[in-house]
Amino acid sequence: MRLLKKISQILDNPSIGTPKRHQLRHARGSHVNPYVIIYVVKCDIITFLYVDHHDFVYEKAVEILEKWEREL
């Protein structure tokens, strides 16, 4: 329920997430403890990349973002 509420907030205001750095520099992240939602905003399109426990989300999100960028 909290994840769905946070996703709704992101859809209403994509800038609420924290800009990420390094390999996730084009992505944003929003925390819903203990989870993190990783997403990308391009033009007016929000793409949710990955949601997982904060201990695991960043490694997998890097893989997904790299694959997603290659396919664009």
| CATH number for 39 | 3.30.2310
The number of domains in the chain is 1
pLDDT at 52: 96
Q: Are 29 and 9 in contact (CB under 8 A)?
A: no
| C-alpha–C-alpha distance, residues 72 and 30, integer Å | 24
pLDDT at 72: 77
pLDDT at 56: 95
pLDDT at 10: 98
Range of the domain at 43: 2-71
φ/ψ region of 35 (left if φ > 0, alpha if ψ in -120 to 50, else beta) reads beta
Instruction: Name the pTM for this structure.
Output: 0.93
Q: Taking residues 3-7, what's their average pLDDT?
A: 96
pLDDT digits (tens, 9 = 90+) for 34-66: 999 999 999 989 999 999 999 999 999 999 999
